[in-house]
Structure 1
Amino acid sequence: MKLLLLLALLSGGEGVSGSSVAGRVGGNVTLSCGYNMRKHKPLSVCWNRGDIPYSQCNNELIATDGLSVREDSRRSSRYQLLGQLDRGDVSLTILNVTESDAGRYGCRVHIPGMFNDEKHHFDLTVDSDPQTTTSVTSETSTLQTTDTHTAGHMNATETILTSSFSSVIRQQESSSVTVALVCVMFGLIVLVTAGGVVVLVRKWMRLHKVRQQQLNSSIQFSSTLQLQSRDSAVENIYQIEEGVARGVYEYCP
């Protein structure tokens, strides 16, 4: 009796919650479970089939070591933890539900400290006889959605292709204009350079002609001076010779 009372006290020290969830054969169902990541660091979690025992999970389906799933704990590939583990979402998703999946499930969050673990129980019911009308309606809706999505995807693809083609044409036109401008600029530069060369050549020829004229004038002037000097010298010689001759003749008695 005391042992039962102690066990009751121990189980009462842990947070326990429960809820009911409905699923359908062939579909997927999610059992929501999580903890406050801001309050706690990444915690270990285990999912149990049936009531959660006083410690750990005695009928474990899948478990985590904090931020990743322990693959050695996964009983079946139909059990998935698709939530964001780094945000404390450890919800269990059961794929391709069968009638045998109905029953109780438990999520145990291991919180450090004595009797601090959180326990969450879920009672899953499975509908084994889905309505045909619902299935037909669902299939029709799915087909319509698929057709709409396909049409929208095709329209979006056509729009993207048209935009890409227009962009290519614009780029080609821009490139052509750029090439034309470059050619015009190059032609102008060539013309300006050729004009400058012509002007420089003409100036050089003029300077050369002026210098040649000046040189010729200097040569002519020098020649004239030399001729004049020679004429003066000859006249002086004649005068000297004439004077000498006269002196000689006058001396004779």
Structure 2
Amino acid sequence: MPEFIDYTVEDHVGVITLNRPETMNALNRQMYVELEQAFRDAHRDPDVRCVVLTGNGRAFCSGDDVRQIMLGEQRDETVARLRDAKPKPTPAATAVLDCDKPVICAVNGAAVGWGMDLALFADIRIASESAKFGELFIKRGLVADLGGLWRLPRVVGPSKAAELLFTGDIIPAQEAERIGLVSRVVPPAELMPAAMEMARKIAQNPPIALRYMKEGLRRSVHGTMAEMGEYVGNSLAYLFTTEDHKEGALSFVERREPVFKGR
């Protein structure tokens, strides 16, 4: 049984909760392994159509457990693991990024260091009014993971990303919303209801098309217009053959709510 990560599925929504509140959900080695496994499970589960990621307690994630991973007995293991992973990102980051279901991050408190990177791996971020964000790696003499160096410039722009990465400044939820880091800010009591409402709305859509839509968004960041055109053409050629497409068209003509089955 996982010790630090809770994973449940309800209404086609997988909810992954970081559950080490006494450390502000700081990540140790075991927690990284459990987080990776939870996202692998969500990726493979045909019943899951959307994922909500959040934290238990007053923080979303305070990053790495400095005492264990950076200074303690896990330091050498961490260094060896990172060397072995090259040129790939860290395994937990890979699992989140590989998940082909839309991922919503409900940021309930501080998201700093790798905690901010983790939030950036999500497709959509909703923040509590008590949330705050900071790329603290420079303060530890390190570089950010793919969240900061790859995703952040595409979310807030290169100049703002450089400012956050070079200074290590911590910004409040309202500033995060202003620069486009999060989609919206809500009172703390409304965070999970808002995230789950959005997740259920997404999960009502045809799951095959959702996976293709997410992959298309990924490719739009890196591919040329010609490559994107080829991807769109190939995707539509397949999606037109699915039962979900037929159901979507029929439900529109028949003026009723569609029932998508992932076929």
Normalising by the residue count of structure 1, what TM-score does the alignment of the two structures yield?
0.25
Q: Which has the higher contact order (CA 8 A, sep 6+)?
A: 1
Normalising by the residue count of structure 2, what TM-score does the alignment of the two structures yield?
0.24
Larger radius of gyration: 1
